[in-house]
Amino acid sequence: MVNWNETKAFLQERMNGTPEIGLILGSGLGVLADEIENPVAIPYEDIPHFPVSTVEGHAGQLVFGDLEGKRVVAMQGRFHFYEGYSMEQVTFPVRVLKLIGVETLIVTNAAGACNENFNPGDLMIITDHINFFGTSPLIGKNANEFGTRFPDMSEAYDKQLVKLTEQVASDLGLNVQKGVYFGNTGPTYETPAEVRMARLLGGDVVGMSTVPEVIVARHSDMRVLGISCVSNMAAGILDQPLNHEEVIETTERVRQDFLSLVRGTIKSI
Ligand code: 6GU
How confident is the model over 29-38, as a mean pLDDT?
94
How confident is the model over 228-236, as a mean pLDDT?
95
Total-model pTM: 0.96
Ligand 1 neighbourhood includes 231 CB (under 6 angstroms) = yes
Percent helix, strand, coil in the chain, to 5, is: 35, 25, 40
How confident is the model over 181-199, as a mean pLDDT?
97
Q: Which of 50, 73, 27, 7 is nearest to 210 (CA)?
A: 27
How confident is the model over 33-37, as a mean pLDDT?
96
How confident is the model over 207-230, as a mean pLDDT?
98
How confident is the model over 44-56, as a mean pLDDT?
81
Task: Give residue 245's pLDDT.
Answer: 86
- Cβ pair 25, 70 in contact under 8 A: no
Atom 11, ligand 1: which residue's CA is nearest?
111
- Which residues are known to be catalytic? 27, 58, 80, 82-83, 110, 208-209, 232, 244
Task: Give residue 208's pLDDT.
Answer: 98
Interface ipTM > 0.90: yes
Ligand 1 neighbourhood includes 114 CB (under 6 angstroms) = no
Least confidently predicted of 111-115, 119-123, 240-244, 255-259: 240-244
Q: What is the DSSP letter of 125?
A: E
| pLDDT of residue 251 exceeding 90 | no
Atom 8, ligand 1: which residue's CA is nearest?
112
**What is the Å distance from ligand 1's center to 4 Cα?**
33
Q: Which of 189, 229, 246, 252 to mutate to test the pocket of ligand 1 (most atoms within 8 A of CB)?
A: 189
Ligand 1 neighbourhood includes 28 CB (under 6 angstroms) = no
Could you give the percent of the chain with pLDDT greater than 70?
97
Ligand 1 neighbourhood includes 118 CB (under 6 angstroms) = no
pLDDT, tens digit (0-9, with 9 covering 90-100), for 1-26: 678 889 999 999 999 899 999 999 98
Task: Give the residue with greater pLDDT, 240 vs 221.
Answer: 221
Q: Which residues fall within 8 angstroms of residue 156, CB to CB, at 6 or more apart? A: 128, 129, 214, 215, 218, 224
**What is the Å distance from ligand 1's center to 11 Cα?**
33
Element (H, E) at 13: helix 4-14
Atom 9, ligand 1: which residue's CA is nearest?
112
Task: Give residue 2's pLDDT.
Answer: 75
Name the average pLDDT for the chain: 94
Collapse the DSSP code of 251 into the 3-class scheme (helix H, G, I; strand E, B; otherwise coil) and give the result.
Answer: helix
Could you give the percent of the chain with pLDDT greater than 90?
85
pLDDT, tens digit (0-9, with 9 covering 90-100), for 53-98: 665 545 599 999 999 999 999 999 999 999 999 999 999 999 999 9
Task: Give residue 53's pLDDT.
Answer: 63
Atom of ligand 1 nearest to the CA of 186: 4
Task: Give residue 175's pLDDT.
Answer: 92
pLDDT, tens digit (0-9, with 9 covering 90-100), for 120-147: 999 999 999 999 999 999 999 999 999 9
Phi-psi region of 172 (alpha: psi -120 to 50; beta: other; left: phi over 0): alpha
| pLDDT of residue 246 exceeding 90 | no
**What is the Å distance from ligand 1's center to 168 Cα?**
26
- Cβ pair 12, 260 in contact under 8 A: no
- Cβ pair 112, 238 in contact under 8 A: no
